[in-house]
Each structure stands twice: as structure tokens, then as C-alpha cells.
Structure 1
């Protein structure tokens, strides 16, 4: 059965952020992810993880001026110093929280700057980040994001992301495959999973319903089928639940209970 992690930036909005750890644990999650930890001290976050028996599996490196509309800076020429400072800060948090993965957002292509120049900058910054992260055993992730939710974002397609990973050539640089974004931009999710998971270049999966980013069993995606494909391919990473609950988070977790019931029944039959 896939291992599901609660994304605390989107799930449990009915609670203050630090109270979401307890809520996720109460619903049976064993791991969490979220966008950014930097508004909180590492000790405060570590205490929440330990208190509720949770693992931290992913967060993002500093994205630039998020409140001002920036969506990452890794591909933005002229921001190299800020990128390196952000990598250092992210790795400090990763060490304290025990997170084995950090996502680096590419950013929106600036007006008047060519994609070729952005790509060169991206490759250089990712190579630096991967080199710094390797001794700590941390994977650096890049994620294609759909053009509807984030117009102008530099990285949109799976093939682009895998080409970047291969060109940089660092073993700890990997792709974050969000099935929600991929369905909107490309579709053909089963073929994508069968093509890309066996390469070892996919370090993390995420799910949400399409088109409205609610519970992952609602809308266009056949979640049970897709997770069956993931299981069949022996993917041993985590599946982040990065969706916006339609009502209460706990009330909308019927899809997860169904997966757990299936796993329990499989165990009974095996014995």
C-alpha cells in the first residue's frame, strides 16, 4: 500500500498550523509535509513531530517573496546568492527535522528574460544545491507545475524535469511527480508512472482531485487504479496529500479509510 503523508499547508485548515500535527496523527497519518517551515523554530517543529510520532518527509526551500507573488527563485538569473543562502537555511531545517527531501521551486519566468537563460541558471543552482545536500543524505526535488494554477512557472512537463535531472547528473536530484499537475498539463498518468518510476528519478509523489484540487478520489482521477500502478512498480517513497478539503479534513478521509481497509483485508487473506 502506498504511504500517504498529510500536507499540513492544505489539510486541516480548521486548525492553527501547529495544531495540525496532532490532527494528522489522530487520523492515522504517520508522516507530514508542508510548503515552508521558516515561520517557526526548528525546536518547535521537532517537538510537534516527536510528540505525535510523525516523520517529516518534505518541505520547500525559501521561495523568494512568496507574499509578493514570487514562486521560487532557482531559475531566476541574478538571484544566485539568495538561492545559496536559501539552500543553506533549508538544509539546517532538514537536519533538525530529519527531512530527507527538500523541494526547490524554479520560479516564474521574468519578463524580458529568455527561457534558455533561466534554464542555465536553474542547472547551475540545482547542481550547487545537490552538492551541498549530498553529505547530509538529502534529496533535492524539482516539480513540474501546471500552467492554469501558476501561469508563467518555468517547469511544466515531466520530460523537461527528467531532462534537467539527467543533465545535472547528481544522484540526489530527483523529480517530484504531482499527479494533479501532471493530469492538467499532460494526462496519460498510467503511462507516465510506468515510464518514470522505474528510472529511480522520481523521489516523491503527490495527489489531489482534478479539476478542483479537492479529495483525491473526486473528479477525473481513478485513485485506486493509479495507486495500484504505484504499488505494482514497487515505489517506496511517500505520496503527499496536497489537496484542499471540500468540507472538514477528517470527514473527507473516506478514500484513505478505504485504502487501509483494503490493506487490512489483504493481511487477513495472506495469513
Structure 2
């Protein structure tokens, strides 16, 4: 029943939806979302979605608004009011104050001819034929359609504002999404003395000591000009053992992997992880103008919460 109710919403993206978007885009203040009971719970989520997608918004409880919280609403704001019946007293009581402030009013109801619907500058019909509740009483399908309509508004505004993934990350700095969109390779790479590094004429035995001391399971190999010549990894060591080379005489340049995968300090850490996963490797050399400035290891990404 809820799925059918949501599907029916597609036919209701009409001129009123366009009008609602225009009113919200023109708002210089915030979007105030309000609703009573179950509609209030949906209103809170809609306000949160607006706020995280580039449209400043917050929820105001209609009951509390009648007892002082109207002071949270200014003449620069816009109102989205939710009520399935369109006649809930706590919201209807606020209509004269909304009109006095001159704020645009957008409503989501199941009855366009309700008091709230008729008082609105734009009405979005979220009505349902029946609730999913077997008694046809508990708000189920109606709250779902209201939530979907609110999401549709938020995404339409997101697109209209040109809201980017980086903008989204700034609204979510503490979560995994924020880390994936904000954390750069330079923030988590091993740098300075922590970089495993040997010259191309270093004997294998000495290179193995460098690998062991730095604990990354690899070392970078630098040529005479200070540029990256290659890397030597656990895999290269296994191949060297198969060849039964003399670890004290064999130069690392003859055993290293040339043209390794690299990253830039400004690259997103999430992009570095993608490169590692696609190539089935555990580290990337970080270069800047051909010079090694760091090494990023899979373990560092795990510890940073990226992987």
C-alpha cells in the first residue's frame, strides 16, 4: 500500500511543486518546517535533509510556537507545514501569524480544500487512498508520501543551487561521508623520516633493512636526480628469492618495480583507496613534481575510517 501511494506521487509534481521550489529558492532566511504528531516527526526529518543539502532549515513545533517559539520565525523565512487532514488545530492557529509576518507558506496535506491547503501559497498533495494500517487509522502511507515529497523538494533545490559533493562534506565533517569527501592523501600519508627510501644502487640487503625499519612492507627507490625510479615490495622480494640472488651484491635497481602507481598530496584519500583496490596493492607512493613526498598505506586509510 505504501509503495502504491509513493508511486502515485509522480502525477502530483505539478505547477504547485514548481511554485514551492521558487518560493524556497527566493527565501533569504531559513525554511521553517512544522507539523504535529507523526507529521511532526516527518517534518523534523525533512528539515534535517534540507539543512544537509544546502537549504538552511529547522523544525519548529507548532504547539510550542503558540507559546513563544514564534520568535524563532522571521519575515525572511519560508514555512513548510505538514498535516494529513490539513485541519490540525495547532497548525491552523499559527496561520494568522504566518500571514502577519508575510512569509510564504507551502503545505503538504491530503486535502487540497482543507483550511491549511487553501491558505497556502503552494499546496503539495500527499494524500493517500488508504493507510497501510489494517484499521486505516495509524499514519503510515500518509507519512511515507509526505517524507518522499519532502525529499523531492530537497533534491530539486540541491540541483537548482548547484550543491556539490564538497558542499555536502562540509555539512557532514564528522561522519564517514565527510571523511571520504574531505580527507586528502596529504593528511594521512607517511612523510619525512617515515618514508622508506633507498637509492637505486643500494644492495638488496640494505633495502630490506629499510623496509623492516619503516614497517610499510615496501621501500621507494630514488635515482641520482632525486626522482622516483621505482618501488620494491614484498612481491618483488618473493621473486628475488625465486631467482636466488645474492642479497649483498645485487642492486635494488635490478629487482624493483618500475612505473609504480602513485598519488598526489591533494588527491582525495578515497580516490587513493580506489586505486589500491583496483590494482590489488596496499600502498601508493605520493609524489609532487616527480619527487617523493610521502607514502600512503592501506592501514592508514583503515585507521582514518576511509576503508
TM-score, with structure 2 as normaliser:
0.26
Flag the structure with larger Rg: 2
TM-score, with structure 1 as normaliser:
0.29
